[in-house]
């Protein structure tokens, strides 16, 4: 359903682009704007991953520098049947995470120190599985296409004063001015709707990867609360990256839900709880190196050991 909805929203944005292009700039204005927008976003597609990681001062880690966290991502990637992504940690108190990269072969996942410190190992598994689901679904590509169309529509609006008086424009001056403001707003609304749709899809995919939707549901609740308690200075300085995070990192909160890049957390949690119910999963399973197991079986296994278990990281 989410895939169908994304396709319909992309079709709507494409239709909006074609309509605005024809009304405001005729064929020439439409072509010029589209070529420029495509060029800009192709550059972003190939370089945005490294740029975003640099914006947030992320440092790459490996098995030796962060064995627990790296090992968790490695096992989840194996369960998702994905190539091992690059792994980054961001020195930031706000709990959050994101994925980037143009495709699964060139992907990276990043988590803040606040996230790693505040979540249980099961909850952290749920979050990183969500990010790997973004990679598996190629959401970076989808959002790049969306940004290309949104950028083209905005450029057409800027070209309105130059091309808007052409013979193909039946709107008149008032209509042209109105379109200059309404078209980019419409594109932004569709772009954010696509972003919200992809979050629901990644929640479902992440739950399937880690094996328990309730782990991610619990994590989302904690992250939503923690994100309000800490200011993410890098995210505030670069608000265009907000849609990449698992929870909106910005503290503004002044815009109507129509303009939010993320679904309401309560709706996401409800969807995950429904998924867990359908899978007949109760909140009594924990993460182990070999995957999810019932808490009862883990306690029984641990009772036979003379030493404390090393945890889910191996």
- 4-45 pLDDT, tens digit per residue, is 766 676 677 667 777 776 666 667 766 776 777 677 667 767
More confident residue, 147 or 163: 147
Residue 201 in any domain: the answer is yes
Is residue 314 a part of any domain in this protein?
Answer: no
CA distance 140 to 134: 8
Encode pLDDT of 177-211 as tens digits.
666 677 677 777 776 777 788 899 999 999 999 99
* 265 or 22, greater pLDDT: 265
Beta bridge partners of 89: 59, 111
The pTM assigned to this predicted structure is: 0.75
Contact partners, residue 83, CB within 8 Å, separation at least 6? 77, 104, 105, 107
Structure tokens at 132: 């790997």
Q: β-pairing, 97-101 with 107-112? A: antiparallel
Tell me what percent of the residues of the chain surpass a pLDDT of 90: 43
Q: Please state, rounded to an integer, the average pLDDT across all residues of the chain.
A: 79
Q: How far apart are CA 160 and CA 258, in angstroms?
A: 26
Measure the CA–CA gap between 266 and 93, rounded to whole angstroms.
23
Choice between 2 and 301, residue whose per-residue pLDDT is larger:
2
Residue 234 belongs to domain spanning: 2-284
Q: Tell me how far apart the alpha carbons of residues 106 and 54 are, in angstroms, rounded to a whole number.
A: 16
Taken as a whole, the chain contains a residue count of: 314
Question: What is 190-203 written as a DSSP string?
Answer: HHHHHHHHHHHHHH
Q: Does any domain span residue 295?
A: no
**Total domains present in the chain:** 1
Task: Judge whether 257 lies within some domain.
Answer: yes
141 φ/ψ angles, rounded to the nearest 5 degrees:
-65, -45
Contacts of 68 (CB under 8 A, 6+ apart): 311, 313
What pLDDT, in 10s, does the model give residues 205-240? 999 999 999 999 999 999 999 998 999 999 888 887
Task: Please check whether residue 304 lies inside any domain of the structure.
Answer: no
In this structure, what DSSP letter does residue 241 have? Answer: G
Among 114, 97, 93, CA closest to 231: 93
Instruction: Give the pLDDT of residue 169.
Output: 54
Is 69 inside a domain boundary? yes
Phi-psi region of 178 (alpha: psi -120 to 50; beta: other; left: phi over 0): alpha
Least confident of 254-268, 272-286, 293-307: 293-307
Q: What are phi and psi of 281, to 5 degrees?
A: -105, 130
What is the predicted pLDDT for the residue at 23? 67
Between strands 86-90 and 97-101, the pairing is unpaired
Mean pLDDT for 80-107 is 95
In a domain, 300, yes or no: no
Residue 181 inside a domain? The answer is yes
The residues that are catalytic are 131
């Amino acid at each position: 359903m989410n895939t169908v909805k994304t396709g319909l929203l992309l079709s709507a944005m494409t239709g909006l682009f074609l309509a605005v292009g024809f009304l405001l700039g005729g064929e020439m204005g439409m072509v010029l704007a589209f070529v420029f927008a495509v060029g800009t976003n192709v550059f972003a597609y190939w370089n945005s991953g490294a740029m975003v990681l640099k914006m947030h001062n992320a440092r790459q880690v490996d098995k030796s520098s962060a064995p627990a966290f790296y090992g968790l991502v490695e096992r989840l990637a194996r369960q998702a049947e994905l190539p091992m992504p690059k792994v980054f940690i961001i020195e930031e108190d706000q709990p959050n995470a994101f994925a980037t990269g143009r495709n699964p072969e060139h992907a990276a996942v990043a988590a803040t120190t606040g996230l790693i410190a505040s979540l249980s190992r099961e909850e952290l598994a749920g979050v990183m599985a969500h990010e790997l689901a973004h990679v598996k679904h190629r959401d970076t590509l989808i959002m790049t296409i969306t940004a290309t169309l949104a950028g083209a529509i905005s450029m057409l609006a800027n070209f309105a004063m130059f091309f808007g008086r052409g013979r193909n424009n039946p709107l008149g001056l008032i209509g042209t001015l109105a379109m200059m403001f309404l078209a980019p707003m419409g594109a932004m609304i569709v772009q954010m709707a696509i972003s919200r749709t992809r979050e629901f899809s990644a929640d479902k995919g992440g739950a399937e990867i880690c094996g328990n939707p309730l782990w991610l549901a619990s994590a989302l609740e904690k992250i939503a609360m923690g994100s309000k308690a800490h200011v993410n200075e890098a995210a505030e300085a670069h608000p265009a990256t907000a849609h990449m995070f698992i929870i909106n990192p910005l503290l503004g909160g002044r815009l109507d839900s129509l303009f939010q890049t993320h679904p309401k957390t309560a709706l996401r949690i409800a969807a995950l709880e429904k998924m867990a119910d359908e899978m007949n999963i109760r909140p009594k399973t924990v993460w182990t190196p070999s995957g999810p197991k019932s808490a009862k079986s883990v306690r029984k296994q641990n009772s036979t050991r003379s030493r404390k278990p090393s945890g889910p990281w191996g």
